[in-house]
C-alpha cells in the first residue's frame, strides 16, 4: 500500500507540477541547422547578429535545436519555437527551405527569415518555389565576397593562388568564380602574371576537417602555392593547419575567421549579422517585407572583408574602400557563374581553372 501511495505521489509530482508553472517567452527564435551554435559558420554568425540586436533593443531571444536533420524535425522545432513565444523565426541555411515552405502557411502570424535559401516544396523534381508575405529569404552574393578576397590577395602581393571548396554546391561555386575573377582582375590591373589554374582548384567533398585535406593543402603549399582560399566551412581548419606547418597563409570564409589561426589573411565574409539585423529592424519597425528574396551584396553591406582583423601587408583600407565602391556602383559587375566569368576575363591566354573543375563535374 505504501508503495502504491509512493507511485501516486510520484505521478502527481510529474504530471501535476508542470501544468501551472509559468514559462518565459522568447520573441526572437533561431533554429540551428546541422551544426552547433558555435560552428564558426552560419549558425554562429547569424546568432551573434541576433544577440547583438536583441540586447540593443531589449528583446527576448533563444535558439532551438531540432532532434535531427530532417524536414519534419525542422518543422517541428519551428512549431516548438513558436510555442515558446517566437514572433519571428530565423533559420540559417538552405536546409530549411522545405520546412519554411510549410511553416509560412501554417503560421501566418509569425515572420520567418530564411538565410541562404528560398522556400520551396519538398521533392527535388517539380520544385515549386513560393515565398509568402511573412517570409524573407536572404541570399548573398558570394561571388562578390570571393571577388574581394581574390582581389585583395593579389594586390597584397600573392601570385600563386589556390582554392578549396567543401562541395560544389551553388554557393561555394559562386565563391570560387568570384575569387578567380577578383584575382585575375587585380593581376590585369597590376599587369602581373599569377599562377592559379586547375592544379590548385579543388572540392574536398566534405565540410568537416580531415587529415587528408590537410595533406593535400600542404602539398600545394610545398609546391609553391602561397595562399589558399578555403570555402569549405569547418574543413577550413585543415587548410589553416597546413598553412601553419608551411608558414603560409589562407583565406577564411563566411565569417571572420581571423581569430581561429594566425594564418588567416582575411575572410570572404557574408555579413550574416548585418543581414539578420536589417530584417529584425524591419520587423520591430513594423515594415517587414517578405514575399521575395533579398539579395545581400556589396550594395547593401551584405559582403565584406574584415579589414580590422586582416593581416595584409600592403592592401589598405583605402584600397579596399575603392574596390568596394566599384562593386557598389556597378562599375565592376562580378560574374556569378562560369559562363559570365569567361566573358568577364575575356582573355583566352589566361590559364584560369577550367569549367569542369570549377563546377565540380570532374569526379
Partner 1 sequence: MVEKIKNYFITNYLGISTGFSLFLFIFIIPQLFEDSDLIISLIRGIIFSIVVGYLVYKFLLFRRNNPNFVPSESKLVVDAGGSLVAIIVGLLFGLLLMLLVNPGQAFYGFSIILRGGLNRNFKSLGDMIFFSVPIILTGLSVAFAFRTGLFNIGATGQLTMGAFVAVFIGVEWGALGEIHPLLHWGTALLFAMIAGGLFGAIPGLLKAYRNVNEVVASIMLNYVAMYLNTMLIVAYIYNRDYARALDIEETAITPIMNLDLIFPGSAINGGIVVAVIVVIILHIILNKTTFGYELKAVGFNRNASKYAGMNSKRNIVYAMMISGAVAGLAGGLMFLVAGKHLKPENILIPEGFTGIAISLLGLSSPIGVLLAGLFYGSLQQGGYYLQLLNFTPEIIDIIIAVIIYASALGLVLQKFVKMILKRKFLEKEDGEPQDLAVEGSDE
Grid coordinates representing 329 are: 556602383
67 binds partner 1 (CB under 8 A): yes
Kind and range of the H or E element at 222?
Answer: helix 211-222
Residue nearer to partner 1 on the CB measure, 120 or 153: 120
Identify which of residues 168 and 328 has a Cβ nearer to partner 1 in the complex. 168
> Which one of 6, 7, 8, 36 is in contact with partner 1 (CB under 8 A)?
36
- Whichever of 169 and 293 has its CB closer to partner 1, that residue is 169
Rounded to 5 degrees, φ, ψ at 304 are -170, 165
**CB of residue 358 vs partner 1: minimum separation in angstroms?**
13
Q: What 8-state DSSP symbol labels residue 36?
A: -
CA atoms within 13 Å, Cβ hemisphere of 205: 7
Alpha-carbon gap, residue 31 to 166, rounded angstroms: 23
Nearest to partner 1 of 14, 348 (CB atom): 14
> Distance between CA atoms of 323 and 304, rounded to whole angstroms?
11
**83 near partner 1, judged by CB under 8 A:** yes
**Which span sits near partner 1 by CB under 8 A: 29-37, 103-111, 277-285, 334-342?**
29-37
Q: Three cell numbers at 158?
A: 600573392
> Considering only residues 70, 222, 223, 281, which one is a binding residue for partner 1 as defined by CB under 8 A?
70
Which residue from 165, 157, 110, 102 is spatially nearest to 131, judged by alpha carbons? 102
Q: Does 122 bind partner 1 (CB under 8 A)?
A: yes
Q: State which residue, 83 or 133, has the beta carbon closest to partner 1.
A: 83
Query: Counting contacts by CB under 8 A, is residue 108 touching partner 1?
Result: no
Residues 149-188 that bind partner 1 (CB under 8 A): 166-170
- Stretches 21-29, 274-282, 314-322, 334-342: which one binds partner 1 (CB under 8 A)? 21-29
Any residues with CB less than 8 A from the CB of 199 and at least 6 apart, and which? none
Instruction: Closer to partner 1 by CB, 199 or 206: give it.
Output: 206
Q: Give the binding-site size for partner 1 (rule: CB under 8 A).
A: 45
Residue of 76, 199, 245, 351 that binds partner 1 (CB under 8 A):
76
Name the β-bridge partners of 161.
Answer: 227
- Per the CB < 8 A criterion, the answer to whether 337 and 177 are in contact is yes
User: Segment 298-357, which members bind partner 1 (CB under 8 A)?
Assistant: none
Does position 215 bind partner 1 by CB under 8 A? Answer: no
Smallest separation (angstroms) from partner 1 to the CB of 279 = 23
Nearest to 146 by CA among 164, 119, 130: 164
User: Which residues are within 8 A (CB) of 228 and not within 5 positions of it... i.e. 6 or more apart?
Assistant: 161, 162, 163, 164, 200, 217, 220, 221, 239, 242, 243, 248, 250, 251
Binding region for partner 1 (CB under 8 A):
13-15, 17-18, 21, 23-24, 32, 36-37, 62-65, 67-73, 76, 80, 83-84, 94-95, 98-99, 122-124, 166-170, 205-208, 210, 360, 363
Amino acid at each position: 500500500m505504501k508503495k502504491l501511495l509512493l507511485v501516486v505521489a510520484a505521478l502527481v509530482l510529474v504530471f501535476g507540477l508542470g501544468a501551472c508553472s509559468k514559462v518565459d517567452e522568447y520573441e526572437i527564435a533561431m533554429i540551428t541547422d546541422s551544426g552547433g551554435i558555435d560552428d564558426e559558420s552560419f549558425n554562429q554568425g547569424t546568432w551573434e547578429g541576433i544577440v547583438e540586436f536583441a540586447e540593443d533593443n531589449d528583446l527576448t531571444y533563444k535558439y532551438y535545436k531540432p532532434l535531427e536533420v530532417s524536414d519534419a524535425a525542422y518543422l517541428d522545432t519551428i512549431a516548438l519555437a513558436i510555442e515558446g513565444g517566437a514572433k519571428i523565426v530565423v533559420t540559417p541555411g538552405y536546409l530549411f527551405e522545405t520546412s519554411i515552405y510549410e511553416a509560412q502557411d501554417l503560421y501566418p502570424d509569425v515572420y520567418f527569415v530564411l538565410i541562404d535559401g528560398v522556400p520551396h516544396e519538398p521533392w527535388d523534381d517539380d520544385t515549386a518555389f513560393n515565398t509568402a508575405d511573412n517570409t524573407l529569404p536572404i541570399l548573398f552574393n558570394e561571388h562578390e565576397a570571393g571577388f574581394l578576397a581574390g582581389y585583395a590577395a593579389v594586390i597584397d602581393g600573392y601570385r600563386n593562388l589556390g582554392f578549396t571548396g567543401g562541395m560544389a554546391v551553388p554557393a561555394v561555386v559562386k565563391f570560387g568564380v568570384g575569387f578567380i575573377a577578383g584575382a585575375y582582375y587585380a593581376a590585369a590591373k597590376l599587369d602581373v602574371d599569377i599562377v592559379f589554374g586547375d592544379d590548385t582548384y579543388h572540392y574536398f567533398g566534405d565540410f568537416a576537417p580531415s587529415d587528408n585535406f590537410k595533406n593535400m593543402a600542404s602539398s600545394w603549399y610545398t609546391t609553391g602555392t602561397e595562399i589558399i582560399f578555403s570555402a569549405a566551412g569547418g574543413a577550413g581548419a585543415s587548410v589553416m593547419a597546413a598553412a601553419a606547418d608551411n608558414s603560409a597563409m589562407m583565406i577564411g570564409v563566411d565569417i571572420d575567421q581571423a581569430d581561429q589561426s594566425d594564418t588567416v589573411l582575411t575572410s570572404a565574409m557574408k555579413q550574416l549579422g548585418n543581414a539578420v539585423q536589417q530584417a529584425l529592424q524591419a520587423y520591430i519597425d513594423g515594415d517587414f517585407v517578405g514575399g521575395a528574396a533579398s539579395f545581400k551584396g556589396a550594395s547593401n553591406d551584405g559582403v565584406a572583408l574584415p579589414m580590422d582583423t586582416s593581416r595584409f601587408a600592403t592592401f589598405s583600407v583605402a584600397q579596399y574602400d575603392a574596390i568596394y565602391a566599384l562593386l557598389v556602383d556597378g562599375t565592376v559587375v562580378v560574374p556569378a557563374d562560369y559562363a559570365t566569368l569567361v566573358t568577364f576575363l575575356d582573355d583566352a591566354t589566361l590559364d584560369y581553372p577550367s569549367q569542369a573543375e570549377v563546377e565540380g563535374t570532374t569526379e
